[in-house]
Structure 1
Amino acid sequence: MGRFALRSTVFVTLATTVAGLLLAGTAVAAPAPGGQTVGDPYYPTDGNTGYDVGHYDLRLQYQPSTDQLSGTATILATATQDLSQFSFDFGLHTDSVLVNNVPATYSSTGAKLVITPATYLAKGSPITVVVRYDGIPSQVTINGEQDWLRTPDGAQAVQEPHMAAFWYPANDHPTDKATYDVSVAVPDGTQVISNGTLVSSPSRLGQTRWNWRSTKPQATYLTFIAIGKYEIRRTTGPDGKPVISAYSTAIGANRDAAIASVERTPEVLAWESSLFGPFPFEAQGGVVPGVDFGFALETQTRPVYTPAFFNGGSDVSVIVHENAHQWFGDAVSVNRWSNIWLNEGFASYAEWLWSEKEGEGTAQQLFDYYYNLYPASDARWQILTGDPGADHQFSGFGVYTRGALALHALRTTVGDDNFFAILKAWVASREYSDGTINQFIGIAEKVSGKPLHDLFQQWLFTPAKPALASSFAAHTTSVKPKSAAQIDRTRDLLSSANH
Structure 2
Amino acid sequence: MFCHCMKLLMPVGGLIALKRQIALFLVLASFSFVQFAHAQRKATESCAAARMVTTPMLLADGITSEAHKELMRHYDLHWYKLDLQLENNSVAISGNVILSATSMVSSLTHFAFELHPNFTIEQVLAEGVPCTFERTGSEVVAVLPSAKGKQETVEVQVFYSGRAPTGAASFVGNGFSTAATPWGSVTWSLSEPFAASEWFPSKQLLEDKADSVDVWVTTSVANKVGSNGVLQRVTPMGNQKHRYEWKSKYPIAYYLISVAVGPYEEYSFRTQLPGMAEPVLVQNYIYPGILASMKTEIDRTGQLLQLFSELYGIYPFHREKYGHSMAPMGGGMEHQTMTTQSTFEFSLTAHELAHQWWGDEVTCAGWSHIWLNEGFASYSEYIAYERLMPANSRQWLEMANQNSLRQPQGSVFVTDSTNVSRIFSSSLTYDKGALVLHMLRHALQNDALFFQILRTYRDEFKYKVANTRDFQHVVERVSGRSFQYFFDQWVYGQGYPIFDISWAQAGNTLQLRSRQHTSSKETPLFRTEVEFRIRMGQKDTLVLVQQEENLEDYVFKVSGTVTGIEVDPNQWLLEAVNAVQYDATLLPGQLLAYPNPTTGQFYLKGNRGVVEEVAVFDVLGRHIRTIRSASSAMSLADLGAGTYVLKVKAGGEMTEVKIVKL
Short-chain TM bin:
0.7 to 0.9
Whether the 8 Å CA contact 2:357–2:458 is kept in 1: the answer is yes
Provide the C-alpha distance between the structure 1 equivalents of 2:237 and 2:399, rounded to a whole number of angstroms. 58
Question: Is the counterpart of residue 220 in structure 1 residue 254 in structure 2?
Answer: yes
Provide the C-alpha distance between the structure 2 equivalents of 1:175 and 1:480, rounded to a whole number of angstroms. 36
Provide the C-alpha distance between the structure 2 equivalents of 1:435 and 1:70, rounded to a whole number of angstroms. 35
Whether the 8 Å CA contact 2:98–2:158 is kept in 1: the answer is yes
Matching residue of 1:54: 78
Provide the C-alpha distance between the structure 2 equivalents of 1:69 and 1:163, rounded to a whole number of angstroms. 15
Provide the C-alpha distance between the structure 1 equivalents of 2:527 and 2:400, rounded to a whole number of angstroms. 13
Pick which of 468-477 and 130-139 moved more: 468-477
The TM-score normalised by the length of structure 1 is 0.79
Query: Which of 104, 108, 111 pairs up with 1:86?
Result: 111
* Residue identity matched to 1:70: S
- Residues 77-118 of structure 1: CA deviation (Å, up to 9, x unaligned): 011112221211112221111112222111321011211112
Whether the 8 Å CA contact 1:63–1:187 is kept in 2: the answer is yes
The TM-score normalised by the length of structure 2 is 0.60
Query: Which of 406, 411, 415 pairs up with 1:384?
Result: 411
Bigger proportion of residues as strand: 2
Shift of residue 419, structure 1, vs aligned partner:
0.7
Whether the 8 Å CA contact 1:388–1:399 is kept in 2: the answer is no
Whether the 8 Å CA contact 2:135–2:141 is kept in 1: the answer is yes
Mapping 1:173-322, distance limit 5 Å:
173-178=205-210, 179-205=212-238, 206-239=240-273, 240-249=279-288, 256-281=292-317, 282-289=319-326, 292-307=328-343, 315-322=345-352
Matching residue of 2:49: none
Matching residue of 1:146: 174
Pick which of 412-421 and 381-390 moved more: 381-390
Shift of residue 256, structure 1, vs aligned partner:
4.2
* Residue identity matched to 2:465: D
Whether the 8 Å CA contact 1:60–1:72 is kept in 2: the answer is yes
Partner-residue secondary structure (3-state), 1:160: coil
- Residues 345-388 of structure 1: CA deviation (Å, up to 9, x unaligned): 111111111111134358688557754x379xx66031201225
- Residues 218-263 of structure 1: CA deviation (Å, up to 9, x unaligned): 111111101110001233231422221110238x6xx644433223
Matching residue of 2:145: 118
Mapping 1:365-444, distance limit 5 Å:
367=397, 370-371=400-401, 373=402, 380-387=407-414, 389=416, 390=419, 391-414=421-444, 415-444=446-475
CA distance 1:257–1:411, shift in 2 (3 Å): farther
Whether the 8 Å CA contact 2:441–2:447 is kept in 1: the answer is yes
Whether the 8 Å CA contact 1:99–1:129 is kept in 2: the answer is yes
- Residues 170-196 of structure 1: CA deviation (Å, up to 9, x unaligned): 101222111111111111111111111
Partner-residue secondary structure (3-state), 2:147: coil
Question: Is the counterpart of residue 172 in structure 1 residue 204 in structure 2?
Answer: yes
Provide the C-alpha distance between the structure 1 equivalents of 2:171 and 2:334, rounded to a whole number of angstroms. 23
Question: Is the counterpart of residue 472 in structure 1 residue 531 in structure 2?
Answer: yes
Provide the C-alpha distance between the structure 2 equivalents of 1:64 and 1:396, rounded to a whole number of angstroms. 31
Provide the C-alpha distance between the structure 2 equivalents of 1:105 and 1:338, rounded to a whole number of angstroms. 36
Shift of residue 287, structure 1, vs aligned partner:
2.8
Provide the C-alpha distance between the structure 2 equivalents of 1:89 and 1:161, rounded to a whole number of angstroms. 14
Provide the C-alpha distance between the structure 2 equivalents of 1:54 and 1:123, rounded to a whole number of angstroms. 15
CA distance 1:416–1:89, shift in 2 (3 Å): same
Shift of residue 158, structure 1, vs aligned partner:
2.2
Instruction: Give ranges in structure 2 of 5+ residues lacking alignment.
Output: 1-59, 274-278, 498-525, 534-565, 573-662
Mapping 1:129-140, distance limit 5 Å:
129-138=156-165
Matching residue of 2:558: none
Provide the C-alpha distance between the structure 1 equivalents of 2:96 and 2:369, rounded to a whole number of angstroms. 34
Partner-residue secondary structure (3-state), 2:387: helix
Query: Which of 307, 324, 333 pairs up with 2:363?
Result: 333
CA distance 1:366–1:456, shift in 2 (3 Å): farther
Provide the C-alpha distance between the structure 1 equivalents of 2:166 and 2:400, rounded to a whole number of angstroms. 42
CA distance 1:274–1:43, shift in 2 (3 Å): farther
Whether the 8 Å CA contact 1:380–1:397 is kept in 2: the answer is yes
Shift of residue 44, structure 1, vs aligned partner:
4.9
Whether the 8 Å CA contact 2:75–2:102 is kept in 1: the answer is yes
Matching residue of 1:101: 128
Whether the 8 Å CA contact 1:258–1:288 is kept in 2: the answer is no
CA distance 1:368–1:318, shift in 2 (3 Å): closer
* Residue identity matched to 2:177: L
Whether the 8 Å CA contact 1:262–1:286 is kept in 2: the answer is no
What root-mean-square deviation, in Å, do the aligned CA atoms of Structure 1 and Structure 2 show?
Answer: 2.8
Instruction: Give ranges in structure 1 of 5+ residues lacking alignment.
Output: 1-39, 482-499
Provide the C-alpha distance between the structure 1 equivalents of 2:134 and 2:281, rounded to a whole number of angstroms. 42
CA distance 1:353–1:246, shift in 2 (3 Å): same
Matching residue of 1:26: none
Partner-residue secondary structure (3-state), 1:217: coil
Partner-residue secondary structure (3-state), 2:407: helix
Provide the C-alpha distance between the structure 2 equivalents of 1:379 and 1:316, rounded to a whole number of angstroms. 25
* Residue identity matched to 2:308: E
Identity %: 28
Whether the 8 Å CA contact 2:91–2:177 is kept in 1: the answer is no
Q: Which has the larger radius of gyration?
A: 2
